[in-house]
Amino acid sequence: MKHIDIVIPTRNRIEKLEGTLDSIPKRLPNVSIIVVCDGDRDTFEYLIKNHKEVHAELVPENKGTVFCRNWGSRNVKDGLLYGTDDIIFLENSIENALECFNKNFPDDDGVVGFVQEGNSFHPTGIALVGQKFLQRYPSKQLFCPYYFHFACFEIYNLCNKLGNKFVQEEKARVFHYHPCNFPDQMDQTHKDARKFKQEDFIMKAKREKKKLIWGYDEN
């Protein structure tokens, strides 16, 4: 892997998004940033005006994190790092993830998970994905489109199904300002996502009962 596209979905969180963008080192020549605004024209226009280094895209309606991540990933030519708009990349975390990836997956067929400080989040909640791994998915839709927000666990399931396709790098760390630990960080975007949490987990249970894994049983 030589180049990384960082895909970040966002909705009505300019201040938090600024923190995420500021934490991505400007010195990295092999990194590009794609921010997908989820029905959020104000943020889209703000990015166009204030962040020339960011490739901003606008989804006209509120479609959810899953849709936006898939939207932003469709033209990725090399590595994909999917994140969120309420995290801070800690020092050298992106560089460490890339080094780990190239060491463990020289064929570009694997996933490196970031450690999310502040809580015991899912190991593939934020991850770096190789192009060969992405090619398993229809139109590079890494996230199962039947979900609205909660879908990253199916990536982990596929890694386990295929065997030896996932590594979590302890030196690739982010700080996640999640309302589980920071109740004061709860905003409308969090609340909107939680409206779909029950539906997403019902879908998860149905798919697990049928032993379906996105990218393996459906492509």
Residues 82-129: pLDDT tens digits?
Answer: 999 999 999 999 999 999 999 999 999 999 999 998 666 789 999 999
pLDDT at 189: 74
> What's the mean per-residue pLDDT of the chain?
92
Place 217 in a pLDDT band, splitting at 50, 70 and 90: confident
End-to-end CA distance of the chain: 24
Helices (H) and strands (E) in the chain, counts: 8, 8
Place 192 in a pLDDT band, splitting at 50, 70 and 90: confident
H or E element in which residue 97 lies: helix 93-104
For the chain, the structural domain boundaries read 4-209
Q: What is the mean pLDDT of residues 174-191?
A: 72
Residue 216, Cβ density class (10 Å: 0-12 exposed, 13-18 middle, ≥19 buried): middle
User: Angle 138-140-142 (CA atoms, 0-180°, nearest 5)?
Assistant: 95
Instruction: Tell which residue, 146, 137, 150, 133, has the closest CA to residue 217.
Output: 137
CA 184 to chain centre: 23
C-alpha R_g of the chain? 16
Other beta carbons within 10 angstroms of residue 182's beta carbon come to 13
Both tokens assigned to 176: 């996640």
In the predicted structure, residue 219 carries a pLDDT above the cut 60:
no
Instruction: Tell which residue, 96, 104, 80, has the closest CA to residue 172.
Output: 96
pLDDT at 82: 97
* Rounded distance between C-alpha atoms, residue 216 and residue 51, angstroms: 38
% of the chain with per-residue pLDDT over 70: 93
In the predicted structure, residue 193 carries a pLDDT above the cut 80:
no
pLDDT at 182: 65
**CATH number listed for the domain at residues 4-209:** 3.90.550.10
Both tokens assigned to 114: 């970031």
